[in-house]
Amino acid sequence: MHLSRRQLLSLLAALPLAPARAASPAYPLVRPRALSFPADHGAHPDHRIEWWYLTGWLEAPGVPEFGFQITFFQIRPGVAEANPSRFAPHHLIIAHAALAWPESKRLLHEARSARAGFGLVEARVGDCDVRLDRWRLWREGTAFRALIPAGEFELALNFGPTGAPLLHGDGGYSQKAPGAEHASQYVSLVQLPVSGSVQVGGRQLKVSGRAWFDHEWSSSLMHPQAAGWDWTGINLADGGALMLFRMRDQRGAALWHGGTLRSPNGLAQHFGPDEIVWQTLREWRSERSGVLWPVEQSVAFAGRRLRLLPLMDDQELDSRSSTGAIYWEGAVRAIEQGREMGRGYLELTGYDKALKL
């Protein structure tokens, strides 16, 4: 069950269409408030959806640089909440992990999903500790740790020490589309040093690198006019960090923009809907799905222009047969005036729908 983050929201959006016999629970809406850590690294189980999302670039002796992505979702489906069974699906945890492994010329990926319960599957309240059977992401001291025995590959990574959290929007209150109800609490930890081991292709690699960590929770659904979403998070080479996103409507035009630039000295600059421009530089058509992905993007903000150049073109995740979800989520380099200025991840969703139109 592979899902991109925003796509999950659009799937959840289908829920109100379900017969309204079981009244949906009152999901709390996010509103501006002071976040406190480590408590807010932990889960917010009353909300409809929450995710912990790690991406980054890794290097190891003897292999080309490669990207990784680890995501844990917690969903409150709001069904059968009165069921006293310990198996009752009060919360679902979905996790997936992918390696942008240049040797295979495509993503290696694996996913798990399960209902929370029995201590096997849970997202702890009070501090970050999310587990799904043998997959686990948790905080330990000043660092985060992830154990992902995914079968085809196995990750055992340390992230940290962490710096101060980067709070997007208004102190972590981040608007995603027109209307105050379309917002989330959104916190990032950026420039995370990575160490640990990756087992892939029969090799055990000692790796190091740099990661980006998003933690976001919300009760709102995808905006009814939204058709797709582009996101990027870049650890800049100067020690700064850049996050930009765009919500697109059915015609492909921007419905909303947002972004944050943190300078190396820690000062954050927030961008509103009118301050960012995305432009497609190059498209790549997937032979598997036939979808045309705008894999090379130019993003303009605050008088600067960055070219996002993918590590490889094929970083598509296609699971339409099982969940109907297909998206592109890959490692990218950020180029400014011909020089590499940083590295991070780019997420592209909703392009298969555009194809149908």
User: Where do contacts with other proteins occur on this chain (CB under 8 A)?
Assistant: 11, 14-15, 17-19, 21-22, 77-80, 83-89, 92, 113-115, 118-120, 133-134
CB 130, min distance to other proteins, A: 16
**Shortest gap between Cβ of 4 and other proteins (angstroms)?**
17
In the complex with other proteins, which residue's Cβ is closer, 124 or 270?
Answer: 124
- Taking the least distance from each CB to other proteins, the nearer of 37 and 138 is 138
Whether residue 87 contacts residue 120, with contact meaning beta carbons closer than 8 Å, is answered with: no
Name the β-bridge partners of 329: 347
Nearer to other proteins, 110 or 313 (CB): 110
Q: Locate tokens 């929370």: which residue?
A: 116
Rounded least distance, CB 145 to other proteins, Å: 18
Tell me the CA distances in angstroms from 117 to 25, 91, 130, 136, one per residue in order.
20, 8, 12, 14
Smallest gap from Cβ 35 to other proteins, in A, equals 30
Distance CA 190, CA 284 (A): 29
Closest CA to 230 of 285, 168, 279: 279
Q: Tell me the C-alpha distance between 190 and 211, whole Å.
A: 7
Nearer to other proteins, 88 or 156 (CB): 88
Whose Cβ is closer to other proteins: residue 199's or residue 298's? 199
Per-residue DSSP letter, 273:
T
CB of 320 to other proteins, least distance (A): 15
Nearer to other proteins, 3 or 234 (CB): 3
Residue 111: strand pairing partners: 96
Shortest Å, Cβ 76 to other proteins: 11
Full DSSP string of 30-79: P------TTGGGS--TTSSEEEEEEEEEEEETTEEEEEEEEEEEEE---S
